[in-house]
Chains A and B, each alone.
Chain A
């Protein structure tokens, strides 16, 4: 149980386009989802915390107008990278937690590798 999926797993896009990444909890309801970014050889950096039905909370230095997060249902959160630039190329990972599950973990998705040309 406690499976989180992400789609797409890999995306290549042109500079200036927008890219949407989906994060789904497949067998549980996720009241909270987290979005992380990981640059090569760096650790995971939390970008924002997404609560179902309310606005996301962004970490300092993360532009909310550039990284749009929508958590419209208890099983789906989306991250849209708007007007992507090459410096946005990174590995984006979501995680989900639910009060009904063991609180030991956030369950991580498999990640989405974004390359902006």
Chain B
């Protein structure tokens, strides 16, 4: 059974801290791994990773994939209160429908 596991499930930090969110997966027919940020409504896209060892960056956020060990991390440096959200990891499955299998998410709370 395909599985995406995120850790920790929740995290509380102070502004300015750096956080690392983890995502491990067991998915047959892996195509890519995606990170999303979900606040009150639908997820918003952050990164898509297909190759091992290539870091993707967007401002204070960065992510990297290890296809050998089957995991990815999402780093957020100098956190701000606006980073408070649920961060979802999803693995794209290439079995014809290109569906996404989501993890349960990490709830990040950044306190002032």
Contacts and interface: CB of A to CB of B under 8 A. Distances in A.
B102 interface: yes
B98 A32 contact: yes
| Interface residue SS majority, chain A | strand
Task: Give the residue among A44, A93, A104, A110 with the most B Cβ atoms within 10 A.
Answer: A44
Interface residues of B, number: 18
B110 interface: no
Interface string B22-36: 000000000000100
A36 to B, nearest CB: 8
A62 B44 CA distance: 25
B99 interface: yes
Contacts of A70: none
Interface residues of A, number: 19
Task: Give the residue among B43, B44, B98 with the most A Cβ atoms within 10 A.
Answer: B43
Interface in B66-92: 88, 90
Contact of B43 (A46, A49, A97, A108): A108
Given A104-B48, A110-B42, A111-B41, A43 B97 contact: no
Contacts of A110: 41-42
A105 B84 CA distance: 22
A62 B88 CA distance: 22
Given A105-B45, A111-B42, 12 more contacts: A32-B98, A34-B99, A42-B104, A43-B102, A44-B88, A44-B100, A44-B102, A49-B99, A93-B42, A104-B45, A108-B42, A109-B42
15 contacts: A43-B88, A43-B102, A43-B104, A44-B43, A44-B90, A44-B100, A46-B99, A46-B101, A49-B97, A104-B45, A105-B45, A108-B43, A109-B42, A110-B41, A110-B42
